[in-house]
Amino acid sequence: MRAAHENPPSNPPQAIPFAWYPDPMARAAALRAFQRRLEASQWLPPEKIDHWQRRRLSVLLAHASAHSPYYKRQLSNLPRDFAKDASVNLQDIPILTRDVLQDEYAEICTTAWPARHGPAGETQTSGSTGQPVKVKRTGLCQMHWLALTLRDHLWHERDFSASMAVIRAPVGHGGDKAAFMPMWGEAVNVVARSGPTHFLPISTDVNRQAEWLSQLNPGYLLTYPTNLAELLRIAEQGRLPLPGLREIRTIGETLSGSVRDECSRLLGVPVTDLYSSQELGIMALQCPVSSHYHVQSESVLLEILSDAGEPCRPGEVGRIVVTDLHNFATPLIRYELRDYAEAGPPCPCGRGLPTLRRILGRRRNMVVLPDGKRHWPLVGFQQFREVVPALKQYQLIQRTPKQIEARLVVAGNITSEQEGALTRVIQDALGYPFELRFDYRAKELHRTHGGKFEEFICQLDRFRGDGMHE
Ligand SMILES: [Zn+2]
């Protein structure tokens, strides 16, 4: 590893663009070189990817234990010579929880990092409850974000000349207003001149969103799955003609199979999902061949762990724990995101990158049965609207082991027969005859500050301070 005081490189090296370049031209050249590496590394056999990750992890552990007061303490029981010993047992490294990251942030951050990683900026997750989490991310982390964004575009063979419409929470700039950029962003610029990006804040009324989209007639749309589900209601009424649309991209929330199917049925386009967080950047991209997500192993080491802390086998569901292999400013080593996923099998596309079959969302989105068992509810707008066509929005909240609060926004009145039918559909979806308490709301239910919406929230263990992030 280079010394922390070393000057940034003036020219990108030919083969290894693992550095941040302040000059945009040098950065673009480094990103192109990075892309060529990623094109090759995705096909490596899993053992080679694993071996490479172990070496990166050793370097990260050595850096963290030398420059982070928190990790100096935490890693004191591990072999000291990390850089020479790539055989560190992952299970011996303690999990970093969100609570610890909040409480010990200053101690976790390092006092120095290699100059080639570039300057660090502080990013903050939105957090619907409890404190948001802060993380410093370096220029090198940003390079990874850009390179993996470009990989996503290339995997899905997007037409860079088309326009991109984005409906989401504002990110960093632009404020809570509609905005326009003449291009898709830096990730694409390094390989092509792109079409424009049109941005609309997620707080915009969904009918207004539909008018805006119809006027733009974009080639691509990026938004959250629950917002997409609301747009699909408008499409169903024939009020969302988008003849130029080629693909919808989703971020930020769990994407259900029914939303995918409805997009295909109502808009005639595929949906491509992306798994990312503010703290860790892009962690998994949807495979262009299968429906699986590929872990972005060149950037993160992603584990899926059972309740006992053992790695899950394909088909098993567990909690996601992620190590950012390149963040040397706020090391996130075995960071528990509180999302759950199902481990996937090797992908038929031939890429060696590990797979996730499904990303299931947060523990707090699981229903708890009176016997203490948990599962993900099969909630879904479509099935609820079959019994209450005037239903505009819903949210289910579990506050006690046997009772569910159903917040409903309904256009007009609902009959007692409909309420009874809805009760049965909800009980079916939740897998238990819960007592339902209906709460009718006149106004749209709020999203979090980050623009997210949760259809089911369990508050039985809210003392855990389970927040939500990007
Ligand atoms: Zn694949």
Report which of 396, 456, 462 is spatially closest to residue 423, judged by C-alpha positions: 396
**205: CA distance to ligand 1 center in Å?**
37
pLDDT of residue 12: 39
Q: Under a CB-based contact definition with an 8 Å cutoff, are residues 220 and 196 in contact?
A: no
**347: CA distance to ligand 1 center in Å?**
5
Helix (H, G, I), strand (E, B) or coil at 204: coil
**400: CA distance to ligand 1 center in Å?**
42
Stretches where the chain sits below pLDDT 70 are 1-17, 79-87, 126-131, 171-176, 379-381, 449-450, 461-470
Residues forming a β-bridge with 400: 403
pLDDT of residue 86: 59
**464: CA distance to ligand 1 center in Å?**
36
**271: CA distance to ligand 1 center in Å?**
16
CATH fold of the domain at 15-158+246-362: Rossmann fold (3.40.50)
CATH fold of the domain at 366-464: GMP Synthetase; Chain A, domain 3 (3.30.300)
**212: CA distance to ligand 1 center in Å?**
35
**46: CA distance to ligand 1 center in Å?**
13
Residues forming a β-bridge with 305: 311, 319
**132: CA distance to ligand 1 center in Å?**
34
pLDDT of residue 128: 47
What contacts 383, CB < 8 A, 6 or more positions away?
425, 429
Q: Under a CB-based contact definition with an 8 Å cutoff, are residues 71 and 53 in contact?
A: no
DSSP β-ladder status, 293-295 and 355-362: antiparallel
pLDDT of residue 11: 44
Helix (H, G, I), strand (E, B) or coil at 76: coil
Instruction: Report the predicted TM-score, pTM, of the whole model to 2 decimal places.
Output: 0.85
**32: CA distance to ligand 1 center in Å?**
22
**339: CA distance to ligand 1 center in Å?**
22
pLDDT of residue 256: 84
**371: CA distance to ligand 1 center in Å?**
39
* CA 332 to chain CA centroid, nearest Å: 16
**349: CA distance to ligand 1 center in Å?**
4
The residue extents of the domains of the chain are 15-158+246-362, 366-464
**314: CA distance to ligand 1 center in Å?**
15
Walk across the sheet containing 456-458 and list its strands: 435-441, 403-410, 391-400, 456-458
